[in-house]
Structure 1
Amino acid sequence: MAASQREQALSLLAAANNHGDLAVKLSSLKQAKDILLSADLSLLSDELFPYLVELQSCHEALVRKTLVEVVEEISLKAMEYSQLLMQVLLTLLTDPDSVVARQAIVAGTHIFCEVLDALAFQFHRHGIVERWLEEIWSWMIRFKDSVFQVALEARSVGPRLLAIKFLETCVLLFMPDNDSRGHATEVARSAQMFNISWLSGGHPVLDSIALQSEANRSLFILFDLLRSPSLLPGSITISIINSNVQGQSDGHGMELLMSAPASSRQFLIAYLLRGFGSIAMQFISFKLFSHSFAVYTYIHTYIQPLYCDKTSCKFNLINL
């Protein structure tokens, strides 16, 4: 049976890589995926996965996008054998086609959350973390760092928006005493599972202090992006405001800000007030009065009520 699956998969992957017809390439790739998902990958992954990796260089964007989807499905179902596939995500994060890059960020975020859960659960249940899981986590750290760069540098709006959502996910996952479980964002469908309090007894791979530092880094990147709104398309500014202030449409707003430790929360709120004030004034300088009023509304509705010092960072509609 394994030999038959091997031959079928090899034939289909060869067609996906070499056939000139796009429909045949896509159909072959999807059929190969179905075989791989039903096969014993302990016997086949080392031989067959390199053919999947080759497809990241395919000139057809739709094939590259489908490849990312295949990598996600295989990785979530058979994580132990997916190390070789992780390089596909890293490569396609910066794909010139924004649809492919967006799919890589979405898929990578799902895998990131799943690997994080697996690390915590494996140690909690068995007292060990297997080497293969440590190695995949090292890939996830590289993925995280690469997505951070996309948030800061990408020219395409679509990938940058999803990179910002990934920053939000990191804050929600890594801040202590968060109440975000069950309120996953669009890209963080597994984020509700992990809670950093699970690491209170120590962990051989995950350092809770380092993760909290990473959350703070993510939060300040979001705030710093807001300080230069003239460099950001309007949709990105709105996305950052929603991430930092309003939250998702399910009503669980302010999660990012309120998940910060009490000792630093007031500083962050004051920092955010100053940042939004600067944004409002820059919008006015560009005669974008409706944008400025929207920012003013955010300030007074969501942020200023949280700030203890009611005099030092107060904004007035007349001044705006």
Structure 2
Amino acid sequence: MENHLEPSVTYPPRRRFLLCALRYGLGLGALWALGLSLRDGIGPKVTITKDNALVGPWDWSVSHAPKAVAVVTGLDRAACFAAGVAALGGIKTFVSSGDRVFIKVNAAFASPPSLGATSHPDLVQAVVRHCREAGASRVIVSDNPINDPASCFRLTGIAEAVRLGGGELWVPESRRFQPVTLPDGRYLHQWPAWAAPFRKADKVINLAPVKHHHRAGASMICKNWYGLLGGPRNLLHQNVHVVIGELAALFRPTLVVLDGITAMMTNGPTGGSLADVKEARTLIISPDPVAADALGARILNIDPHKLPYLHHAQRLGAGSLNLDAIALHHISV
């Protein structure tokens, strides 16, 4: 039978060594390139412990952002956001071409937007669209709702708003929760969180409604981070002010958008009746979540200095309660 195999070649020992070294080097190079392509990116440097916990804090702020707050009066949420972000230098001050942006909304309950318990779809669509127009490569919108996530995103109108704005809606997956830790915190140690959206982010925007809260007094920007926590997070309500302050220190966003166009004045955070909601005609935009919440508290007729979580957040470096040291841009639309 005819042999179709190539004849074997025997190389001298030195040449064999060089060929093996070359193949080994090429193999390592390919693995390194593959590792870069599959890298689970995050804007700030992330520390992962041996038990897969994420150690914060994470700071997505931009150094050139103005120390300012835009307070916009109006009813059209899209127009109010456009005017407010323009007063802060424009969306490109915060979002650059190629950025992966995570927008943390409040979609906790399966209720219509008219009840004010969740982020309004008109505002969600506007913020997503602005990020895309700034050149963001991806805009991911997510939350870890209390009720069934798919129902919450659908009934609040957020799912459709994300689609219309050109973003991606991420529904929580249990396999993609990871424990998070704030090293100097008292309560946020190895606590499970919906980590996938912010682990992929170069920039983070917190978008929350102004609401009364029966335990915390108010639910606004800082309280909105609760929606990333998994596990029995209701147990944390026993120390709610300290926990909210720690969350504000753990997640330091690029920009916050606080929606007081309508505000839930009573029976928060769920509400359930139009009688709980008033027309406040105010949208607050800032890089500073503590300052934004301080101004939002006034909509609820609450002295911000009487919200303990704001003092905890300020002490941990998450922002400033001193509104006299921050430029306020008042705009009407």
TM-score normalised by length of structure 1: 0.24
Pair member with larger Rg: 2
Higher strand share goes to which structure? 2
TM-score normalised by length of structure 2: 0.23
Structure with larger RCO (C-alpha < 8 A, sep 6+): 2
